[in-house]
Structures are given as C-alpha cells and as structure tokens.
Amino acid sequence: MNTENNTAIFYITDNGLKTAERLKVLYPDAPVLKFKSEIVSEIWNESRNLIFIMAAGIVVRTIAPLIKDKKTDPSVVVLDEKGEYAISLLSGHLGGANELAKKIAEFLKAEAIITTASDVNNLTSIDLWAKENNLVIEDWELVPQIGTRLLNNGALRIFSEIQIELPDEFLKVSDPRFADVLITNKKDPFTDSPIHRFTHSSIYPSTQLYLRPKNLVIGIGCNSGTSDKEIAEAIKAVFDENNLSFLSIHSIATIDIKEDEEGLNAFAEKYNFKIKTFNVDELNAVEGLQKSDVVFKATGANAVSEPAALLASGTSELLVPKYKLGNVTIAVAELNHFTTSPLHPFTTSPLHPFGRIYIVGTGPGSIEHLTPYAQDAIRKSDVIVGYGTYLDLIQELLKDKEVISTGMTKEVERCKRAVELAMSGKTVSVISGGDPGIYAMAGLVFEVLRAEARKSRSAEVTSELPNLQTSKLAIEVIPGISALNACAARLGAPLMHDFAVISLSDRLTPWELIEKRLAAAAMSDFVIVLYNPKSMGRPGHINKARAILLRYRSTETPVGIVKSAMRENERIIITNLRDMLNYDIDMQTTVIVGNSQTFTWNNYMITPRGYENKK
C-alpha cells in the first residue's frame, strides 16, 4: 500500500467518511480508507500519521498489538465521526500527534484533546525539545524520570557546553554536578575537570541525562581496501582516548579520491553519516598543518585527515590532531555552528543565538502558490524585508510583523538592513517574488555577508554592521515557484526540452553581453525564456531581442506571452515570432520562445520531449 506522505485516514460510517473528506483539504495525498484492522497492521510500520474517525475503543484494540516504542510508532489521532474532537492518542510528542490533533482541530473548528503531562502543565517536554534542537538523547530510559522531575519541580537545571537558547523552565547552571541534563560532546565531562562528581551527596541529582550535540566532524584518511570494521574501531578508540561521545559525530570528511572507498562508505552508511570530500587543491590550501611525505606520494595532498576536518567544520583549530591507527588516520574538529536540520528548519538551533535569515521565495502571486514551508518561515519571522508589490501579494501573512519595505531599486539597502536586524538576534525573512535565487535577493544577501566578513577580517576598516560575527547567522534559502514555472504551466508544456533563461534588463548586465547570449541560445535551438522583457527605461529591448532570434528561427516559431501569471490580472497569449510585438509586453510579463520543434495545439504551447519518435 502506498501511503503518500505517510499519512492515512480511516473511517467506518458515512458520517465518518464526510469528516474524512473535509480532512482531504489538509492532507490531499493521504488515502481515505474504510477501516479494516488488517490494513492498519499492514501500513503501521511505514506510516507517520494515522487518523481514525471512529470510537477510540476500536482504535485502541486495533493498535495495541502493533505498538513498539515512542521513537518509532506513528502518531495516532482519533476523531469522533462528526469531527468535534481530535484526540491525540499515541506518540504525542516525538511522533507529533499533539501537533497533528491541534492542526486538525483548528481546521475543523473542533477541540483538540491533549493528555501529555508537560503540555497540560504548559512545560517543555525534554524529548521533544532535544529533537527540535538536534540533540541526541543518550539514554532513553532516563527520559520519564527527568520528565517527572520537571513536573514536580517546575524546572530543570541544564549544563551546556554549547550556546543554546533555553525555555524559561530550563535553568542554566555552570557546575555540571548540579545539572539534571548535560549537553556536551564529552563522554564524561567530569573526567579531566577540576570538578569531581560526588555521587553520594544528596544535594546533587542522582541521575543525569546526557544530550549529545551532533557537532563533531571526523577527518579521515585510509589505505585502499580498509574495512569498515577497522575504521569504526579506530574512530571508537580515538573517541575513547579523547573522552568524546560517538553520538556527537556529525559527519566525515576526506579526500575526493576516496569517494568510492568501500569500507569508508559502508561505515558512513551504517551510522548514517554524511561524507564530505575535498580535492587536493582545497586540502593543500589549509596552512599550518603537519605534512606527510607518504600521503603526498600517494595522493598529491600534503595531508588529508587534518585539513579535511578543518574544512568541513569551518573552524581553524583541531579538537583532536591526527592519530594514526593501522590503516587509518583520524583527526577531529568541532563544527563552529550547527547547520539547520532541513527537517526541523524553524527551531532555534543551539549554536545560532545570533538570529537567522530566511531568504524566501513567494512564488508568482497569490498565497496558494506560496509553499507551506515558506509560509511557515514568514510566520516564524519577527521582521519581513521586501519590495512593495511582493509584500502586497502576501499581505495576510504580514499581520503583526515588523515590515521593512523599500523601492524596487534599493535592494542593497534592504539586504544590509536585513543582515543588521538578524545580527541583533531577530529572525528576518527577506522576501523575493518567484524564486529568491533567480534574478532576486538570495545572491545579494550572500554578497553582503561575504563583504562584511572580509571587512571584519581586515583590521583597518571598521564594519558598518554592529556585530561582526556574520558567520554565526543561520541562513536558509527557501525556494519558490519562479515565473518560468508559472508561465510555462499556463502555456501548456513549452519547457519540455533544454531551455535558456535570459533577462533583458541591462541595469546590472551590459547590453552587448545580453545580445551575445541571445544569439548563442537562439543558435543552439534552446527554448528561450525572457525575464524583464520591457520597462519604462528600455522599451526597445524586446524588439532587438526578437530581431536576433529571427536570424536563427522562423517567423512561425511559437511564442507565449504571460502577464501576471497566477495573479488577478493574468493574461495569456500564444502567438509567434512574426506577430509577437502586436501584444502588450510589460515588466510583469515573461516571454517564452519555442525551439524549432515547439508546436501549438488547442491553444497550448508544447515542446515535444521526443517520446513520439521513440517507438
């Protein structure tokens, strides 16, 4: 059974089916199934969310033999057939049933029934908080005990070796002995420390829960044919020796020629570690490390494990310098900031107390074409920075936000302001129409950040920005539907074959270069998408572009002109190179010129992919 998005909805009665169908709006891909206990057993393991519209008793009897543990069981929500109550029945925290029940209740205007103690008392649940912050729980058996301590005392004491924002009821302590929860990549933070644990003293908590930040990068070099077992043992030995927790491993870094090294890949796969590779030039560019003649002879690199660890971690200091054990060399570095986990993008990440920037694409127009992910980012932002027209289109998301809007040509100013606000600790969304990385703001934000980083490195020049640690900002680019997607969809299927995208704006690109690219694309029979086809300042560009295309294409070549795709005043025209100038083409318009095979049919513009010829 294929449960797309791993959500399924079960019903029994006709009324139940009606409620299920209302829920389809929230979960369009979820199958709606007439209840049968066999189907539930069949899909249990692969499901993330199961929604049952029926008596809770039936659900309890059905799932009882299937339940394993809260790390793997799907979330289960039960609704009465009228959809007046949504009960979070199983996997309330980690599985997300509480959130699911709340979301469904909000949508159906029903009441969510949540029974987990921390929620009832409005307290943070330690397991959920750990998950949201990318921290690995070392011993799950201790979680209930720590949870109870939180409920009874109303607070938990946290010792952390990483920078992390804590909810109000988590109190930071600087002495690890007093902590209920320790956040550290050190296996035992009491070893090598002047503070010793007095386990018998009653003033200290009797059990302590360890949360492991995934912030260690292992640089590794190995001889060909080294087994995964040998690699694992070497890493474990180095970690033991240096008092580091294996659970804190973030990723592995090595030289590119080891990309297909079997043992290394098998090791990484087993523990689900990503491998990042660097080439000889990149490795040799890292200065100040010990060189090895043997490694140089074999690879051309002066060294592998140490520079790879430094490059991958983004730091300049090793936590553990090179160890050589048998066929393996290992060095360890600590990530200087966590990258946001793509699955939980909107939680505060421990090493990002400096605020964050979302560079958000809002799509071609209306909110329906703005992804839920992007909407979420905007909702979670304190400040929204953007250009007037795009902001107007998403007005309803902007209530109670600080909005900074400037004229269209003030992009650099907008970006600097956004970076400045993020540095002050705020969450800022920089908004672009369409996709933020296509003729829009994403590149500019990075350019501004790079310039700031450079300035702060050169001592003579003082930065314009108050805080110089731009590298500590969390940055996420969130894609949107670009005009080319929106306009192609409106026209039919014009982009089914190779295409080139050219902006006719010469505000930042010399016109000669634009002409050169037009000619090259036309010559190579690309379908051509023209952005910024005309503006007040340059009405003649589209005429010149057409003239260039006509050198290589027939007058009959289909041309699609789409103005304001997916907005109120949308207009779609299908014409050809001969007649295209008879239509209004403005700055809200995208023009798509077909290749030599493009045809029109029933008022659609289609570029064949070639299936017809391949019989």
Residues that bind ligand SAH (CB under 6 A): 364-365, 432-435, 438-440, 482-483, 486-487, 531-533, 562, 564-567, 587-590
CB of 9 or CB of 592, closer to ligand SAH: 592
The burial of 61, by beta-carbon neighbours within 10 Å (0-12 exposed, 13-18 middle, 19 or more buried), is given as exposed
Residue nearest to ligand SAH as judged by C-beta position: 434
Based on CB atoms, which residue is closest to ligand SAH, 316 or 389? Answer: 389
Q: How far is the CB of 452 from ligand SAH (least distance, A)?
A: 24
In the complex, the smallest distance separating the C-beta of residue 491 from ligand SAH, rounded to whole angstroms, is 11
Question: Are 76 and 40 in contact, with CB atoms under 8 Å apart?
Answer: no
Helix (H) or strand (E) holding 120: helix 117-120
Q: Name the residue nearer to ligand SAH (CB basis): 264 or 397.
A: 397
- Complex with ligand SAH: residue 119 or 570, whichever CB lies closer: 570
Contact criterion met (CB below 8 Å) for 365 and 567: yes
CA–CA distances in Å: residue 196 to residues 178, 180, 239, 258, 527: 12, 16, 21, 43, 71
Distance CA 591, CA 606 (A): 14
DSSP letters of 517-585? Answer: HHHHHHHTT-EEEEES---TT-TTHHHHHHHHHHTTS-TT-EEEEEESTTSTT-EEEEEETTTGGGS--
DSSP summary character for residue 256: G
In the complex, minimum distance from the CB of residue 578 to ligand SAH, in angstroms, rounded to a whole number: 22
**Of 472 and 571, CB closest to ligand SAH:** 571
Q: What single letter denotes the amino acid at residue 107?
A: F
Q: Which of 321, 252, 315 is nearest to 290 (CA)?
A: 321
CB of 557 to ligand SAH, least distance (A): 19
Shortest Å, Cβ 591 to ligand SAH: 8
Q: Sign of dihedral through CA atoms 174, 175, 180, 181?
A: positive
Q: Indicate the residue among 266 and 572 with the shorter CB distance to ligand SAH.
A: 572
Q: Which of 307, 305, 312 is nearest to 335 (CA)?
A: 312
- CB of 580: closest distance to ligand SAH in angstroms? 15
In the complex with ligand SAH, which residue's Cβ is closer, 212 or 534? Answer: 534
Report the residue number, 468 or 587, with the smaller CB distance to ligand SAH: 587
Min dist. Cβ of residue 527 to ligand SAH (A): 16
CB of 495 to ligand SAH, least distance (A): 14
The residue whose two tokens read 């907008």 is 414
Q: What are residue 540's phi and psi, to 5 degrees?
A: -85, -10
